[in-house]
Structure 1
Amino acid sequence: MKIIFSNYKLGAGVATDLVNTSPVVQTTRGELLTDRAALARFLAEHDVRPDALADGRQPDDADLEDVRSLRGEIRAILEADAEEHVVEAASALVRRGGIGPSLYRDAEDRWQWYVATSPDTSVADELAVLMGTGLLGALRTLSHDRFRRCASPVCEGMFVDTSKAGRRRYCMPEVCGNRLNVASHRARRLESARRRPDSRGTGDTDSG
């Protein structure tokens, strides 16, 4: 696998999404990497093609166990308070199977800096190199402030905000953001109902 230095968003995005497959985050759905097929789907959805899975080989149980273990390491990096710890830990991920940096031509025949993975590197270690490079790139380009906890009070998710504006608040905006908006809307409706006068009829009746 060749990982381009300038495309840190890919590695940071995979790191974010991997961390949030955990049952610690997915309190309703539970573990998302339930089996080898789920891991294969995760890789396909992120367009990650490890060399270890070349020629149609599918992830095995060892790959699944190793990626789940790596997930915990990535979360610890995202939670780190000190930038130095992020750099040290992310660099250690890159060293697991990374070679380089070296110059390679990209799809448009331009020279780019890449980190390549060494032969016979495992699926988990290839992911470690990809995510480690992405986290280092995000820290260097965007700052440590972009490593964040989800703003939802009922979510334990983490994320790296690689957006241009840097205003992302939720680990899964389509889930956590909507959930919080629905909760706020319901709270406003309830408060409005409480303040509304009783319309069931309050007039006195003349009993004669």
Structure 2
Amino acid sequence: MRISIRDYAAGAAVATELVNGSPSVRGAAGEALPDPAALAEFLAGHDVPLDAPGARNPTVNDLHQVRLLRREVRAVLEAATEDDAVAAAGVLAGWAGLAPVLGRDAEGGWRWEVPTRAGAPLVAELAAFVGIGLLGVVRTLGHDRFRACAAPGCRGVFADTSRAGRRRYCTPDACGNRVNVANHRARRTSEPKEASPR
């Protein structure tokens, strides 16, 4: 696999969804990756270009290793300092990542890429993909783009790669909607009631 350094948002999105798919974040919804088929669907849904043997058909061991990887990724997103985040993401990138090289993009131009070690296991390639993505976020957008979800009671974390940088929720469609609905209900109950005509 060759990981484009410019396309950091893809790695950051995988990091965010991977961490927030944990039962400790999802609560009653449970594990987002319950079996190897769900892992295969997750990887395909994010277009993660893994070269690892068996990457299209992950095993139970691959699933177990990816679930353990969540802790390492979460540690990057929760790092207290920029230096700590860079060091931790660099370790992830090194699981399978090799020295950067120049490669051709789809238009024939040059771009920086990080190739991965031939024969690296699925989890090592995924760690490199995520690590490079998170390093790109720090370099391009800053460490302050690693955030905890603003929804009350949510343990989610995320890398905000939005242009404006104002994202507040780990999963805007879930946490954001839940907060908006709660705020709407609170406003409605606090509005003065009109007197009914007699």
TM range, smaller chain: over 0.9
Q: Indicate the residue corresponding to 1:27 in structure 2.
A: 27
- Secondary structure of the structure 2 residue equivalent to 1:52: coil
2:75 touches 2:88 (CA, 8 Å); kept in 1? no
Q: How does 1:22-171 map to 2 (within 5 A)?
A: 22-53=22-53, 57-171=56-170
Distance of 2:124 and 2:197 partners within structure 1: 68
Distance of 1:111 and 1:102 partners within structure 2: 10
Deviations 1:155-204 (A, max 9, x none): 11111111111111111111111111111111122223xx4267497xxx
Structure 2 residues without counterparts, runs of 5 or longer: none
Deviations 1:22-72 (A, max 9, x none): 111111311111010110110011011311146x74000110000000011
TM-score when normalising by structure 1? 0.90
Deviations 1:65-98 (A, max 9, x none): 0000001110111011111111111111111111
Supply the AA of the counterpart residue of 1:196.
K
Distance of 2:30 and 2:145 partners within structure 1: 26
Q: Indicate the residue corresponding to 1:205 in structure 2.
A: none
CA positional deviation for 1:154: 2.4
Residue 172 of structure 2 corresponds to residue 173 of structure 1: yes
Distance of 2:148 and 2:115 partners within structure 1: 31
C-alpha RMSD of matched pairs (Å): 1.6
Structure 1 residues without counterparts, runs of 5 or longer: 202-208
Deviations 1:76-131 (A, max 9, x none): 11011111111111111111111120111111111111001111101110011001
Q: How many residues align?
A: 198
- Secondary structure of the structure 2 residue equivalent to 1:104: strand
Q: Which structure has the greater CA radius of gyration? A: 1
1:53 touches 1:59 (CA, 8 Å); kept in 2? no
1:14 touches 1:131 (CA, 8 Å); kept in 2? yes
Structure 1 residue ranges (4+ consecutive) displaced by more than 4 angstroms after TM superposition: 197-201
Identity of aligned residues (%): 54
Distance of 2:8 and 2:144 partners within structure 1: 16
Supply the AA of the counterpart residue of 2:3.
I
1:5 touches 1:137 (CA, 8 Å); kept in 2? yes
1:150 touches 1:157 (CA, 8 Å); kept in 2? yes
- Secondary structure of the structure 2 residue equivalent to 1:27: helix
1:11 touches 1:130 (CA, 8 Å); kept in 2? yes
